[in-house]
Structure 1
Amino acid sequence: MTENRRNLLTVPACVLLGSFGLSAHAQSSVTLYGIVDAGVLYTSRTLNPTTGQGAGHQFSLLTGGLTPSLFGLKGSEDLGGGMTAIFALESGIDTTNGGLNDSNGNFFGRQAWVGIAGNFGTVKAGVQLSPFVLSLISTDPRGASYFGSGVPLYTDNVFVTGAFNSNAISYASPTIAGFQGNALLALGGVAGNFQAGRQYSASLNYTYGQLLVSAAMYSGNAGGTAATTPVPSTVPFSGRTIGASYHFDNLTVKAVYVNYKVSGSFDSRVYGGGLSYQFTPATNVDAGVWYTSDGNDTNNHSILAAIGLTYSLSARTLLYSQFGVVDNHGKMNTGVSTNGALFGPAGTTLGTAIGIRHLF
């Protein structure tokens, strides 16, 4: 979700740590990075949370219309022998009020981990993205936009469970003959109860030229110390996905299947596909369609379709416009936007978002 971190400001770690009397190697560095994304959101209908029925349209300021607003620090130190110490601290921001957003509700709720990388792979410990979520990001037809993509579908089903995993330990293998694997275990944090809040995830990626195939799974329990985060991050569910991406010059085509089997709720089976085309170095258009059906009751289903246009004013600043439509049947409540319109009423809802995003 934070893949665009170019033109970053790098500061020697000794400058940051010197006031504390700590020393650092010359090969150490700390990088400040961030995204500021704000726009305007319109939807033709909204969901009345009290009655569950459709209500009037909305017109509001939007935070994170294309990607989440955030800032963070990441750093590394060369330990010698091909090993590097690494860390990341990342916080989500709500540009409409200056508060926290797009995280588990804690200050560094998006990422807060430390690890070691080398020829053996990478080991990290702390709050981090699961292999399941990383697989979905890599195969999402619209590049995991926060409007009209697989992201609102994910959040609708399980909030931020699997996205920001507390108490987590992960391993990412090196790439061997095109194959690369990842595994994560998040401990519940409750003494004497290993199952409460326990989460685990794994993925296997295969790359051959311009082709990427990614498969992943996730399993999580309710409870544990992470259940106290302001935004639900231990929704009990099991997830499965397989997706593919192929790049033809300026055209990228993607397809994905995802299953969210949520305890006591939907067994959502999502079929998605779409494409992205780079018309000019500054202009990109993408489109995607997602059909969701409840395996417990097929009367509950929805279809979400969206198209987006981005125009880069510079390497760090772009304008975006997006249009989406969702049609819900039965008890399905798919929304068009992660922020501002996460849940939708039965029937057809139209939505659009326009905004600006700046990277630093």
Structure 2
Amino acid sequence: MFRKLRLASQAIVFLASLLLGGFANAQSSVTLFGVIDGGLLYTNKTLNAQTGANAGKQLSVIDGGSSYSQFGLIGSEDLGGGLTAKFKLESAFSIANGGIAHCNGNLFGCEAWVSLDSRYGELKGGLQFSPFFLALYESDPRGMSFFGSGGVNLVDNLFGTGIFSASSVSYKTPNLWGLQATMLYSFGGQAGDFQAGRQYAASIKYEYGGFMINAAIFDGNSGGANQTPTPTTLAAEGRTLGAAFKFGALTAKASFVNYKVAGSFNNNVYGGGLSWYVLPTLDLDGGIWVTSDRNHTANRSLLAALGASYYLSKRTTLYAQVATVNNHGAMNTGLSVNGALFSPQGTTVGATLGIRHSF
């Protein structure tokens, strides 16, 4: 009797050790991350929103001279068998006043998602960046800087639409011989109307050595339950084709983008430029973006920008940027996502000087 009990207790201890050992071997982590970016912005012209005329010069402190200030949590857990659970929560804020800013205007308005990643690809659900936006980022010579980049054209045309996709599900394929695709569907969330606020996007990318080529589409309907302080559900379409080639310390990028808003404009944007690491601590970049309204060809603009980033450390960077934009017709392309998103007709010149720290 006692021998049987002893054997049973040994079996229980053995099974418990296996279970506890399995839990102990499961690797998990949660990391706090963030970026604080602030600078001075100068422009020789500003747009009067009521009249469309020039309202004069400006010199102001802005948040996000090159990228938006942010903080968040990112985590993962190894579930075994090549399966990993991941999550990310990301919020943006303004160092100018300490309030919530950027992204879609909500507390975690940049990203809030959970995913399962395996050798078969990654399935993700929640608020996430659209594959269309990520493709634009990969082919922008200035890394979608908040000042003087393709990012200004994107926000100028669509605000947050095509960037932040709420209530969405996406699937990213594994990387197969340099080829990878991502597909996303966003549910509008409006009862009785599946089309209100519905969005879909897809991208495909091929990389080999220092060469990259990508393409992406976006299509979204207006309305739905996912209304946010920054508009993210305009009735809009986007198409892009981009390429990049890296040789040594120099990287060249080029892209074509079409932005179409229902009942409004239909803009083509042709962009390209270079990024050059002169030193491991000094990066110089520049780009040019030509915008033309297909509906009214008299509406056009030329945006050109140069930037320099000096890395004081792995986490702290000093930067300086200069740009000019020339608008014709009704085109109102600006210089900066913050403080100068739109500019009046004629030529506007601007500059930023700032510091960025990541943690």
Which deviates more from structure 2 when the two are superposed, residues 24-33 or residues 80-89? 24-33
- The answer to whether the 8 A contact 2:220-2:235 is kept is yes
* Mapping of residues 43-192 of structure 1, within 5 Å: 43-192=43-192
- Deviation at residue 25 of structure 1 after TM alignment: 7.2
Matched residues in 2 for 1:177 and 1:80: separation? 25
Residue type at the aligned position of 1:204: I
Partner of 1:250: 249
* Mapping of residues 224-239 of structure 1, within 5 Å: 224-227=224-227, 229-239=228-238
Matched residues in 2 for 1:140 and 1:330: separation? 26
Which deviates more from structure 2 when the two are superposed, residues 350-359 or residues 157-166? 157-166
- The secondary structure found in structure 2 opposite 1:108 is coil
Matched residues in 2 for 1:105 and 1:27: separation? 34
- The answer to whether the 8 A contact 1:336-1:351 is kept is yes
Partner of 1:208: 208
Partner of 2:307: 308
- Deviation at residue 144 of structure 1 after TM alignment: 1.1
- The answer to whether the 8 A contact 2:114-2:124 is kept is yes
Matched residues in 2 for 1:222 and 1:53: separation? 30
- The answer to whether the 8 A contact 2:167-2:186 is kept is yes
- The secondary structure found in structure 2 opposite 1:325 is strand
Partner of 2:271: 272
- Deviation at residue 24 of structure 1 after TM alignment: 9.0
- The secondary structure found in structure 2 opposite 1:241 is strand
- The answer to whether the 8 A contact 1:25-1:77 is kept is no
Residue type at the aligned position of 2:176: I
Partner of 1:42: 42
Matched residues in 1 for 2:284 and 2:157: separation? 27
Residue type at the aligned position of 2:246: H
2:327 paired with 1:328: yes
Q: CA RMSD in A?
A: 1.0
- The answer to whether the 8 A contact 1:159-1:233 is kept is yes
Matched residues in 2 for 1:322 and 1:100: separation? 25
Residue type at the aligned position of 2:253: K
Residue type at the aligned position of 2:202: A
- Once the two structures are superposed, residues 189-224 of structure 1 have per-residue CA deviations (whole angstroms, 9 ceiling, x without a partner) of 011101100000000000011000010000000000
Residue type at the aligned position of 1:297: H
Matched residues in 2 for 1:180 and 1:214: separation? 10
- Please list every run of at least 4 consecutive aligned residues from structure 1 whose deviation after the TM superposition is greater than 4 angstroms: 23-26
- The answer to whether the 8 A contact 2:266-2:293 is kept is yes
- Do the aligned partners of residues 351 and 123 (structure 1) sit closer, same or farther apart at CA in structure 2, a change above 3 Å counting? same
Matched residues in 2 for 1:162 and 1:25: separation? 40
- Do the aligned partners of residues 109 and 24 (structure 1) sit closer, same or farther apart at CA in structure 2, a change above 3 Å counting? farther
- Deviation at residue 260 of structure 1 after TM alignment: 0.2
Matched residues in 2 for 1:136 and 1:323: separation? 22
Residue type at the aligned position of 1:94: S
Residue type at the aligned position of 1:53: A
Partner of 1:13: none
Residue type at the aligned position of 1:145: S
- The answer to whether the 8 A contact 2:211-2:246 is kept is yes
Matched residues in 2 for 1:141 and 1:282: separation? 18
Matched residues in 2 for 1:41 and 1:242: separation? 31
Matched residues in 2 for 1:74 and 1:315: separation? 20
Task: Flag structure 2 segments of 5+ consecutive residues without an equivalent.
Answer: 1-22
Matched residues in 1 for 2:186 and 2:303: separation? 32
Structure possessing the higher radius of gyration over alpha carbons: 2
- The secondary structure found in structure 2 opposite 1:166 is strand
Residue type at the aligned position of 1:334: T
- The answer to whether the 8 A contact 1:32-1:73 is kept is yes
Matched residues in 2 for 1:105 and 1:192: separation? 27
- Deviation at residue 162 of structure 1 after TM alignment: 1.7
Matched residues in 2 for 1:295 and 1:258: separation? 12
- Deviation at residue 330 of structure 1 after TM alignment: 0.5
- Deviation at residue 274 of structure 1 after TM alignment: 0.2
- The secondary structure found in structure 1 opposite 2:61 is strand
- Deviation at residue 26 of structure 1 after TM alignment: 5.0
Matched residues in 1 for 2:293 and 2:286: separation? 24
Task: Flag structure 1 segments of 5+ consecutive residues without an equivalent.
Answer: 1-22
- Once the two structures are superposed, residues 263-289 of structure 1 have per-residue CA deviations (whole angstroms, 9 ceiling, x without a partner) of 122101000010000000100100000
- Do the aligned partners of residues 186 and 24 (structure 1) sit closer, same or farther apart at CA in structure 2, a change above 3 Å counting? farther
**Aligned residue pair count:** 337
Matched residues in 1 for 2:109 and 2:24: separation? 27
- The secondary structure found in structure 1 opposite 2:84 is strand
Matched residues in 2 for 1:121 and 1:153: separation? 32
- Deviation at residue 143 of structure 1 after TM alignment: 1.3
- Deviation at residue 235 of structure 1 after TM alignment: 0.9
